């Protein structure tokens, strides 16, 4: 069997097992190709691949073992191979941090055009950094900027430190441990705040596919309606932004709850490639203007 034959066979196995795809791929074929290439030692990001190459007995055995592990445990492939991609960059990942997959990755490489315009970005804050993927991508997109990256989880910050070192950004990214803005101990104001907070509602968390159970619950659960952290960021961000600063925050599946909870606020949404409106943005002035609308209903 050739490399292509093995990809086709593993694809059928993944489909038959009714796995969930959403931690680096969104379909069985892409995941099968990633799995097979990783198992045989081929860079999944390689531009040229000989799909008709024959595989050794050892390579075929490695494919079988990795496919069996993925199917039997339902553990996301990203964790099994310790690899993920975000905003065009490769990252290390393990179960200490959530697997990179934010819609923000669509906007960071283009420096959030046209929303930021030509304004210089010298100071960036990444809240809920997790694996550090957003902080690293932002540092690479804004080479003139210093980046502060916060997370409440010391374990996640250990993963972030690995990725910062791999991308040689230790001089430009500072890791801070703490709950959202409480991690910031200095009176710093930022040109740009980026945040992908936990936003899955309590009801939705318990019904997620088994693959999500391998990720830190802390990185997913956003409270009763998914808005606990979203609310905190919306009410506190203006105190940490420069006058010309701007916030970009992913709220994902909580987008409808955001609109329903704060109907008096004219939200600006960025459309993802999928057509979803999962990322919102505000200038510092807008956050100041709409501040009185951001109240929490009794639960």
Q: Tens digit of pLDDT for each residue in 160-177? A: 999 999 999 999 999 999
Q: Within a domain: residue 87? A: no
**pLDDT tens, position by position, 192-215:** 999 999 999 888 988 999 999 999
- The model carries a pTM of 0.93
Count structural domains, the chain. Answer: 2
Residues 21 and 161 reside in one and the same domain: no
Residues 154 and 284 reside in one and the same domain: yes
Q: Print the domain residue range for 15.
A: 3-81
**pLDDT tens, position by position, 234-259:** 999 999 999 999 999 999 889 999 99
Helix (H, G, I), strand (E, B) or coil at 254: helix
Q: Within a domain: residue 221? A: yes
Task: Kindly state the helix (H) or strand (E) to which residue 289 belongs, with its residue range.
Answer: helix 284-290
β-bridge mates for residue 126, sequence order: 149, 194
**Is the pLDDT score of 297 beyond 90?**
no
Residues 120 and 14 reside in one and the same domain: no
Residues 130 and 62 reside in one and the same domain: no
CATH of the domain at 100: 3.40.50.150
Integer CA distances (angstroms), 260 to 275, 278, 290, in order: 20, 15, 15
Q: Which of 87-91, 101-105, 114-118, 228-232 shows the lowest per-residue confidence on average (mean pLDDT)?
A: 114-118
Q: Which candidate, 108, 211, 196, 84, places its Cα nearest to that of 151?
A: 196
Residues 239 and 186 reside in one and the same domain: yes
Report residue 2's pLDDT band, with 50, 70 and 90 as the boundaries.
very high
Q: What is the mean pLDDT of residues 26-55?
A: 93
Residues 151 and 223 reside in one and the same domain: yes
Q: Describe the strand order of the beta sheet including 277-283 as a list of residue ranges.
A: 173-177, 146-151, 123-127, 190-195, 241-250, 277-283, 268-271
**Is the pLDDT score of 299 beyond 60?**
no
Q: What is the mean pLDDT of residues 60-81?
A: 97
């Amino acid at each position: 069997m050739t490399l292509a034959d093995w990809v086709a066979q593993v694809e059928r196995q993944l489909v038959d097992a009714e796995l969930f795809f959403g931690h680096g791929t969104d379909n069985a074929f892409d995941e099968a190709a990633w799995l097979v290439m990783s198992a045989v030692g081929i860079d999944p990001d390689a531009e040229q691949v000989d799909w008709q190459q024959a595989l050794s007995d050892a390579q075929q055995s490695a494919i079988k073992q990795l496919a069996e592990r993925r199917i039997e445990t339902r553990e996301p492939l990203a964790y099994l191979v310790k690899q993920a991609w975000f905003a065009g960059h490769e990252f290390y990942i393990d179960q200490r941090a959530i697997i990179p997959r934010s819609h923000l990755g669509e906007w960071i490489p283009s420096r959030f055009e046209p929303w930021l315009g030509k304004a210089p970005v010298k100071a960036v804050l990444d809240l809920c950094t997790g694996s550090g993927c957003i902080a690293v991508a932002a540092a690479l997109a804004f080479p003139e900027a210093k980046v502060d990256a916060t997370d409440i989880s010391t374990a996640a910050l250990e993963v972030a430190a690995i990725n910062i070192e791999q991308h040689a950004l230790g001089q430009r990214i500072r890791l801070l441990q703490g709950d959202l803005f409480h991690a910031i101990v200095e009176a710093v104001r930022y040109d740009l705040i980026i945040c992908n907070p936990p936003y899955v509602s309590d009801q939705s968390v318990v019904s997620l596919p088994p693959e999500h159970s391998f990720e830190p619950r802390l990185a997913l659960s956003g409270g009763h309606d998914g808005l606990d952290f979203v609310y905190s960021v919306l009410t506190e961000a203006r105190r940490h932004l420069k006058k010309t600063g701007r916030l970009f925050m992913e709220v994902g599946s909580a987008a409808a709850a955001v609109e329903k909870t704060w109907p008096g606020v004219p939200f600006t949404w960025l459309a993802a490639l999928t057509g979803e409106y999962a990322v919102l943005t505000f200038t510092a002035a807008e956050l100041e203007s709409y501040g009185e609308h951001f109240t929490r209903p009794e639960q």
